[in-house]
């Protein structure tokens, strides 16, 4: 089946129980999905609702990645295994028969999906709870409520799909950084308060008694950065760091000099 999976015109009748049907992603879109995810040979690519296995197989064949497909329909699971065998990537791929909502997502470093909006929304808490920060998610056609994509790509299709447009949505699972952080430094204690809405963050606080304001704060996976605009010597400059479980470890560059700062989470 190659018809576009669409909710247009059916939204009123749509219920949460309608399972995404088997509709294939055209090969050129598969390629774009894996490229958008910056797939590498050391990735584990998990396709949720893997159909005939094409995304997992392409990830293994073109990038040397390992792949896992999760699919509700056992006949499609069998077909995907045969396709992987025929493509010479049976050793690198696994196809599991089951419901994506019950699957363990934790081993994936790239997640792909071509499902339906309600199922993307139902998966959202699992993405945040089970996927390691930095995991890339690419969805063909359907976004998630509330969680803005890090990137959206729209492009015209060719061949038998000419005249149609494909849309891809891309997210990087953000580290959890909301709350208060502190670091003892020569100029006084740094106190940060970070507000977080998925990957969007605001950082403010103080260095000693001097208020710290920031601009351009970014969070991408475990990478965090901001431009300090405090009045005191400590507050100015660019901070770039990495979020660990209980620490943010990074480098402050100001006035041509760099130094390390380790922030601890305020309990």
Ligand X SMILES: C[S@@+](CC[C@H](N)C(=O)[O-])C[C@H]1O[C@@H](n2cnc3c(N)ncnc32)[C@H](O)[C@@H]1O
Q: Give the nearer residue to ligand X in terms of CB position, either 25 or 109.
A: 25
Q: Does 78 bind ligand X (CB under 6 A)?
A: no
Q: Which of 37, 46, 55, 110 binds ligand X (CB under 6 A)?
A: 55
Minimum CB separation of residue 112 from ligand X in Å reads: 7
Q: Give the nearer residue to ligand X in terms of CB position, either 79 or 128.
A: 79
Phi, psi (degrees; rounded to nearest 5) at 242? -130, 140
Minimum CB separation of residue 3 from ligand X in Å reads: 10
Q: Does 39 bind ligand X (CB under 6 A)?
A: no
H-helix segments, the chain: 27-36, 54-63, 74-86, 117-130
- CB-based contacts of 227, cutoff 8 Å, min separation 6: 214, 215, 216, 217, 237, 238
- Return the range that interacts with ligand X (CB under 6 A); candidates 23-31, 130-138, 180-188, 191-199: 23-31
CA 155 to centroid of chain Cα atoms: 21
Q: Which of 34, 37, 45, 71 binds ligand X (CB under 6 A)?
A: 71
- CB-based contacts of 203, cutoff 8 Å, min separation 6: 192, 193, 194, 212, 214, 217, 226
Minimum CB separation of residue 161 from ligand X in Å reads: 13
- CB-based contacts of 11, cutoff 8 Å, min separation 6: none
Q: Does 182 bind ligand X (CB under 6 A)?
A: no
Q: Which of 70, 84, 105, 131 binds ligand X (CB under 6 A)?
A: 70
Q: Give the nearer residue to ligand X in terms of CB position, either 109 or 112.
A: 112
CA 105 to centroid of chain Cα atoms: 12
Q: Does 89 bind ligand X (CB under 6 A)?
A: no
Q: Give the nearer residue to ligand X in terms of CB position, either 140 or 265.
A: 140
- For the sheet with 93-97, list strands across it: 93-97, 66-71, 44-48, 110-113, 136-140, 165-172, 151-156
Q: Give the nearer residue to ligand X in terms of CB position, either 23 or 218.
A: 23
Minimum CB separation of residue 172 from ligand X in Å reads: 21
**Burial bucket for residue 15 (CB in 10 Å: 0-12, 13-18, 19+):** exposed
Q: Which residues form the interface with ligand X (CB under 6 A)?
A: 5, 19-20, 22-25, 47, 49-51, 54-55, 70-73, 76, 99-101, 114-115, 140
């Amino acid at each position: 089946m190659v018809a576009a999976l669409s909710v247009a015109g059916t939204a009123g009748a749509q219920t949460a129980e309608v399972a995404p049907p088997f509709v294939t992603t055209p090969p050129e879109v598969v390629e774009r999905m894996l490229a958008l995810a910056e797939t590498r040979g050391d990735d584990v690519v998990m396709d949720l609702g893997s159909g005939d296995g094409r995304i997992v197989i392409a990830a293994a064949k073109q990038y040397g990645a390992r792949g896992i497909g999760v699919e509700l329909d056992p006949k499609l699971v069998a077909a995907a295994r045969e396709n992987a065998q025929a493509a010479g990537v049976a050793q690198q791929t696994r196809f599991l028969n089951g419901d994506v909502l019950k699957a363990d997502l934790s081993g994936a470093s790239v997640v792909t999906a071509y499902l339906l909006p309600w199922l993307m929304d139902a998966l959202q808490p699992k993405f945040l709870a089970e996927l390691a920060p930095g995991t890339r998610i690419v969805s063909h056609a359907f976004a998630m409520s509330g969680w803005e994509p890090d990137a959206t790509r729209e492009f015209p299709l060719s061949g038998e799909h000419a005249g149609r447009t494909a849309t891809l949505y891309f997210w990087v699972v953000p580290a959890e950084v909301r709350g208060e952080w502190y670091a003892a430094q020569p100029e006084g204690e740094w106190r940060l308060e970070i507000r977080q809405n998925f990957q969007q963050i605001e950082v403010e606080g103080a260095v000693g008694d001097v208020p710290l304001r920031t601009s351009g704060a970014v969070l991408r996976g475990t990478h965090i950065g901001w431009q300090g605009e405090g009045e005191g010597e400590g507050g100015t400059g660019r901070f770039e760091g990495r979020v660990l479980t209980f620490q943010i470890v990074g480098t402050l560059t100001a006035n041509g000099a760099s130094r390390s700062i380790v922030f601890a989470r305020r309990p």
